[in-house]
Structure 1
Amino acid sequence: MFIYEFMGGVLDAIAGDEAEIDDPERGYDPHEHRKVEKPTSYSETMVHMLKGSIGAGILAMPDGFRRVGLIAGVVGLFLIGSFATYCIHMLIAAQYILCKRAKKGYMSYSRSIRTAIQSGPASLRWLATYLGKFVNAVLVVWQLGLCCVYSVFVAENVKQVCDYYGLEYSIRLHILMGFIPLLLLNMMKSLKVLSPLSFISNIITILGLILVFYYLMEDDVTVDNEMLEPKSLVDFPVFVGITLFALEAVGVILALEYNMEKPKKFVGYFGLFNISMAIILTLYCLVGIFGYMKYGKEIEASLTLNLPRHEKKAQIAKLMLALAICLSHPLQNFVAYILLWNTCKKRYHGSKAGLIDYSLRVILVVIPVAMAVAVPELGPIISLVGALCLSLLAIVFPGLIDLCIWYPDNYGILKYKLIRDIIIICLGFFGLVSGVYTSILEMSH
């Protein structure tokens, strides 16, 4: 990880620190007033960032490319990835400005949107309290939906291996058998403690992806014109939902930025966030291209499900990636836990607080496992969760917060910031409505 930190520092030194140049209120730096018990280093944050974004989503990219074609898939992936990354940068920058104005070290996502709207247009201010609570609700739904997908992913891959050896059980029973391991993993209480798990998970993921690429590259593949051509427009919203699901772990990104020892190194043109997103987009593109070229129309919702069931290397790849996803489950659940625990600990103290703490951790494992048992279908869930939650969290809400913090007369030349924010909000709502609609149709079918 040293090379990323070193190169980021060199390039930022050449480009200049934009935050310092444009900062109109230099007297108060929120980063210096954060109180984090166990901050994470640059390398630990990079490990968490890669683990938080390279999971089940990367193996769904070939299915996404199948829906829109290779050319549209590559262009769409980088456009959506760059756009979503830009929106998250807007959100982090807006939170920093709000903290400076309020003289606070940090503001949660929900408090940020509430504070921003209270200083925005008068016609929107009545929404402040409701939207603050709604943001928390969407964050929790997103994390639980993600954990639900993880449970289905692990169960489907383990089931394929077990079926080959004659241990044929239903997918729902496999999901239930994963409950106890997930429960034990989610008893860990801090990102610092989770760092070794994320590191191990990253190593296993890399080894598993190497085996996957072995199968993708072992035979010559031919690209016919049909693979290059754009597909039905109806499938494009599903592609957007899959891509957003795969790329944007918003809650984890914000939690990592908050817990980072030197948060200024997280942002910037060559900050940790941009470097990690460049790595993630490149990996997603390669898996999407080669996976679709290899299996074509036969591609499954997860690439591992297409690997030969009778070969040992394929079985090892499936089990390794299932283990990696299982180990990353507590990192994804961490955000939902923090949101709900911050509310609970204000009401309960002493021995009751400890009981509520562990009860909450159990509940946050029970709910996604129950959801997975109810609807054990990987593809439609991925698209639905991505379109529903991430269109709001990664696009609409950052645009709305940015629109409000510059109100009424700081929108720049020709009010370009206002126009930009309105376009972002409209694109987010379009992705939300179209993605949810097509995903529900697919689930019904």
Structure 2
Amino acid sequence: MYFYKYVATRFEDAKAALLPGESEEDFDPHAHRHVPKPTTYSETMMHMLKGCLGAGLLAMPNAFARMGVIYGTLGMILIGVFATYCIQVLVRVQYVLCKRMRRGYMAYNKSMRMAVMGGPDFMRGSAGFFANGVDFFLLVWQIGICAVYFVFVAENVKQVLDYYGYVVSVRRLIVYTYPPLLLLSLIKDLKLLTPFSTISNFSIMLGLYLTFFYLIEDEPVMDDSKFQMKGIEEIPVFIGITLFALEAVGVILALEYNMEKPRDFTGLCGLFSVAMFIIIGIYVTLGIFGYLKYGNACEGSITLNLPQNQKKAQVAKMTFTLALFLSYPLQNFVAWQIVWRKSRKKFNISYRHIADYLIRFVVATLPFGMAVAAPNLEAFMGLLGAFCLTFAAIVFPALMELCVNWPEQYGFCYYKFFKDLFIIIFGVFACCSGVYTSALEIIAQQKK
């Protein structure tokens, strides 16, 4: 629940007072954070693992089916290391900005605004644009996750119903799940959603256990085709799916903020690096075993490949379905919070209550419309990862560092400048190619 407490919290804009004996130069933002109940190293690690093990994990076999065992493994490791580095850059830049502004903490969008305002003169006028860009991509990301949850729930329920003779289309099941999810999204008190999170976490653990049972029960089939890439055009979708699975920018920043000793979060052997090493290991393991088991028939979620006529497989599908169904209102709450934070002052006090529910209704309905329009799980995850996370987790952190180092802190031969420029160009290219390729897959799926 730390993530949801984080997004619901308003941080003070006022500068923090210096501690006794502390000068302007050695101001430590970590010492000025006011977290009522900070998390320990082990607690933060558990939250980190929980936050990154979700629907994206179940898409790993499909991602490996596009790249093959060797290229999939290398690609997963390279993208994981690259994404980890970019988030490390974001956290370090936020620390530098907090130190300059003498504040204990600044949210992502405010950090972006401050960074651009301190950058090159020609960019300073666009500080508000980039700050709003952060909110835009985080909002689209959250709404996209909710849409993925709609599709995931519908596809898994359809397989179970088909086995028992109840043939229903995926789109119709998405329509059936909309009313209860809309009602859950109208809940204002996060404490009421806490039991749902507990059940969801237990369901994910049980589902993973049952899924791995099927993946390792037989000797894997090895042939040359499973070590080859399908085609160059699969790379952008692979990158998008991998980013979707790996990155949870809001969760990561929330955990760093709530940590008892934030200095232990970053660094080569910091908590974030260690957690990402574990997460990448789990992803690679599931991706390889799932691909060796089902080959090119891997679906957008490995649960869709499990036998339809076996009780254990049906339980696995329904446990993951229950987990994501119960996680939907929490993810939707984050999207609502972003919109409400930026719009509530525009409404008259007497109408804010009505406006609040209206925004909740709209934010809960948008993912439903997206899911009905394009119920293609793997292409949707690739599109979402390519469009949102390339900017939120790659381009923006590099841009912030480029501005913060302006004009004379780029190191020997301006290596930091060229490094950040390369990251930005790579992120924009990955976004354009990933969105294009994923959109083609969605269009092709619609024509079937």
Q: Same fold (TM over 0.5)?
A: yes
The alignment status of 1:272 with 2:271, answered yes or no, reads yes
Paired AA for residue 301 in structure 2: S
- Distance in 2 separating the partners of 1:131 and 1:151: 30
- Distance in 1 separating the partners of 2:370 and 2:173: 14
Map of 2:358 onto structure 1: 359
How far does the alpha carbon of each residue in 1:228-271 deviate from its partner, in whole angstroms, 9 at most, with x for none? Answer: 12331111111111101111111232233334455444334444
Paired AA for residue 241 in structure 1: G
How far does the alpha carbon of each residue in 1:397-426 deviate from its partner, in whole angstroms, 9 at most, with x for none? Answer: 110000000100011222221121111111
Pair 41,177 (structure 1): closer, same or farther in 2 beyond 3 Å: farther
How far does the alpha carbon of each residue in 1:332-362 deviate from its partner, in whole angstroms, 9 at most, with x for none? Answer: 3343222222223334575644443343333
- Distance in 1 separating the partners of 2:38 and 2:345: 23
Pair 37,159 (structure 1): closer, same or farther in 2 beyond 3 Å: farther
Contact 2:237 2:437 in 1 (8 A): yes
Higher alpha-carbon deviation: 330-339 or 70-79: 330-339
1:296 deviates by 0.5
Map of 1:69 onto structure 2: 68
Pair 51,180 (structure 1): closer, same or farther in 2 beyond 3 Å: farther
Counting only pairs closer than 5 Å after superposition, residues 272-311 of structure 1 correspond to structure 2 as 272-311=271-310
Pair 99,73 (structure 1): closer, same or farther in 2 beyond 3 Å: same
Map of 1:229 onto structure 2: 228
- Distance in 2 separating the partners of 1:207 and 1:169: 27
Map of 1:83 onto structure 2: 82
Map of 2:443 onto structure 1: 444
How far does the alpha carbon of each residue in 1:312-349 deviate from its partner, in whole angstroms, 9 at most, with x for none? Answer: 11100000011112222234334322222222333457
Map of 1:149 onto structure 2: 148
Pair 417,33 (structure 1): closer, same or farther in 2 beyond 3 Å: same
Counting only pairs closer than 5 Å after superposition, residues 15-414 of structure 1 correspond to structure 2 as 27-35=26-34, 45-187=44-186, 197-260=196-259, 262-348=261-347, 352-414=351-413
Pair 373,39 (structure 1): closer, same or farther in 2 beyond 3 Å: farther
- Distance in 1 separating the partners of 2:131 and 2:139: 13
1:194 deviates by 5.4
Map of 1:7 onto structure 2: none
1:116 deviates by 0.8
1:174 deviates by 1.3
Contact 1:39 1:192 in 2 (8 A): no
Higher alpha-carbon deviation: 142-151 or 49-58: 49-58
1:189 deviates by 5.0
Pair 369,261 (structure 1): closer, same or farther in 2 beyond 3 Å: farther
Map of 2:428 onto structure 1: 429
- Distance in 2 separating the partners of 1:183 and 1:44: 31
Map of 2:15 onto structure 1: none
- Distance in 1 separating the partners of 2:225 and 2:139: 40
Contact 2:62 2:300 in 1 (8 A): yes
Pair 384,338 (structure 1): closer, same or farther in 2 beyond 3 Å: same
Pair 287,312 (structure 1): closer, same or farther in 2 beyond 3 Å: same
Q: Secondary structure at the match of 1:233?
A: coil
Contact 1:44 1:195 in 2 (8 A): no
Contact 1:51 1:328 in 2 (8 A): no
Paired AA for residue 400 in structure 2: I
Pair 353,264 (structure 1): closer, same or farther in 2 beyond 3 Å: farther
Higher alpha-carbon deviation: 305-314 or 48-57: 48-57
Q: Secondary structure at the match of 1:222?
A: coil
State the identity as a percent: 53
- Distance in 2 separating the partners of 1:115 and 1:226: 51
1:37 deviates by 6.6
Contact 2:374 2:442 in 1 (8 A): no
- Distance in 1 separating the partners of 2:204 and 2:132: 35
Pair 104,354 (structure 1): closer, same or farther in 2 beyond 3 Å: farther
Normalised TM-score (structure 2): 0.87
- Distance in 1 separating the partners of 2:248 and 2:151: 18
Pair 265,340 (structure 1): closer, same or farther in 2 beyond 3 Å: farther
Runs of 4+ more than 6 Å apart: 190-193
Contact 1:113 1:128 in 2 (8 A): yes
Contact 2:391 2:428 in 1 (8 A): yes
- Distance in 2 separating the partners of 1:118 and 1:344: 23
1:105 deviates by 2.5
- Structure 2 stretches of 5 or more lacking a match? 1-22
Aligned positions, number: 422
Pair 310,301 (structure 1): closer, same or farther in 2 beyond 3 Å: same
Q: Secondary structure at the match of 1:441?
A: helix
1:51 deviates by 2.9
Paired AA for residue 74 in structure 1: T
1:164 deviates by 1.3
Paired AA for residue 171 in structure 1: V
1:29 deviates by 2.6
- Structure 1 stretches of 5 or more lacking a match? 1-23
Pair 96,235 (structure 1): closer, same or farther in 2 beyond 3 Å: same
How far does the alpha carbon of each residue in 1:42-71 deviate from its partner, in whole angstroms, 9 at most, with x for none? Answer: 555444432322111111111111111100
The alignment status of 1:419 with 2:418, answered yes or no, reads yes
Contact 2:64 2:287 in 1 (8 A): yes
Contact 1:144 1:364 in 2 (8 A): yes
Aligned-pair Cα RMSD in Å: 2.4
How far does the alpha carbon of each residue in 1:362-386 deviate from its partner, in whole angstroms, 9 at most, with x for none? Answer: 3322111121112111121111111
Paired AA for residue 207 in structure 1: L
- Distance in 1 separating the partners of 2:92 and 2:150: 34
Paired AA for residue 310 in structure 1: N
- Distance in 1 separating the partners of 2:84 and 2:382: 19
- Distance in 2 separating the partners of 1:45 and 1:72: 32
Contact 2:39 2:258 in 1 (8 A): yes
Paired AA for residue 95 in structure 2: Y
Pair 25,218 (structure 1): closer, same or farther in 2 beyond 3 Å: farther
